[in-house]
Amino acid sequence: MKSIILSCLISISCFASAETLISADANAGKALVEKNCVSCHAESFGGDGSGIYTRELRKVKNLKELVAQIRSCHTMIGLKWFEDEELNVAKYLNQSYYKFTE
Ligand code: HEC
């Protein structure tokens, strides 16, 4: 179990770079976010909930933190996304809102 956790931690830092997002699918990510993530964010931020990504004191400061936050949100609601799904979502959110280059 420990080694699974460790390899996840390592893969966050290895995978969350601009290069690894090149092959990710932003449209698939968008569909996942719309299906699973919007309602809760919209409850606290109104509208389509995207205000959570653009608020002044947003939490996420780089791609690595973005993937980590996506992971903690989907884990919280009991989804078991694969890493490629996390990366698809990261690509979508980054292209649409965050615009990080690293
Ligand atoms: C049950 C409610 C809930 C659901 C469902 C949820 N989130 Fe969140 N999300 C939150 C809350 C609350 C925060 C703000 C956390 C904070 O400020 O510490 C947040 C913050 C975030 C942020 C960081 C915003 C910032 O400040 O930069 C991202 C990215 C995010 N969520 C992605 C997702 C994704 C992807 C999903 C779908 C798997 C999802 N969330 C589903 C409640 C939720």
Which of the four pLDDT bands, split at 50, 70 and 90, describes residue 2? low
pLDDT per residue over 44-78, tens digit each?
899 999 999 999 999 999 999 999 999 999 999 99
Ligand 1 contact via 100 beta carbon (within 6 Å): no
Name the residue with higher pLDDT: 15 or 63: 63
pLDDT at 11: 52
pLDDT at 20: 86
Q: Which atom of ligand 1 is nearest to the CA of 39?
A: 5
Full-model pTM = 0.88
Task: Measure the CA–CA gap between 21 and 51, rounded to whole angstroms.
Answer: 23
